[in-house]
Amino acid sequence: MHSWWLVVCMSVTLVLLPLLAACSNTTTVHQTYSYTTLSRPTPVTDTWHPGDHMRLRWQGKPDSTTIDDKPAQIVINAQIIGPFASFKAINNAVTSDGVGVDGPIAAAMKPIYTDDWTNQTYTDVLNLPGTLIPGYYVLVQSVQITKSDGTVKGSTKMNFRVTPR
């Protein structure tokens, strides 16, 4: 009787084991992080000079969780556009999507590539060229996120003035 019971239990186990394995879900949940653009570089000032150095910083902040199998790709960028005749002229040059500014690029940093599963602080220095002519400029910091369902881009803008030393 004992061996018969053992055969029944083993038979049931062999039948149920594949079913249980098929039902198990090995989904991994990932914490995502967002990178917001700063509105002010350091040092904090509205007047800069040719040859100055803007220190920029982006900090990952916990966002939602996801079960996606790949992280979203993120590109962080910053550029100085100008010169413009006035701050009003900068506002008139903002692109229709509100993200960019039409005008000559006076300086740009090398893009930073990361993803939304990475929690890190990124810093860079944007050097104002020594040949920068006096006038009005705009610092445009942007973050572009590319997921499987599309790309989203956002930016912050800071107007400033360049004067001779």
CATH number of domain containing 106: 2.60.40.3880
Structure-token pair, residue 131: 């040949």
Q: Is 8 inside a domain boundary?
A: no
Domains of the chain: total: 1
13 lies in a domain? Answer: no
Domain around 87: 28-162
Alpha-carbon distances, residue 22 vs 15, 16, 17 (angstroms):
12, 10, 9
User: From the first residue on, what is the mean pLDDT of each consecutive set of 10 residues in the chain (165 residues)?
Assistant: 49 49 72 79 84 92 93 95 95 88 95 96 93 94 90 89 91
Q: Select from 48, 72, 47 the least CA-distant residue to 153.
A: 72
Q: Which residue type, as a one-letter code, is found at position 23?
A: C
81 inside domain: yes
- As a whole number of angstroms, the distance between CA 157 and CA 165 comes to 24
Which structure tokens are listed for 77?
Answer: 């960028």
- Closest C-alpha to 114, from 124, 122, 106: 122
Residue 57 lies in a domain: yes
**What is the pLDDT, as a whole number, of residue 90?**
94
Backbone angles phi, psi at 159, to 5 degrees: -80, 145
Report pLDDT for 12. Answer: 46
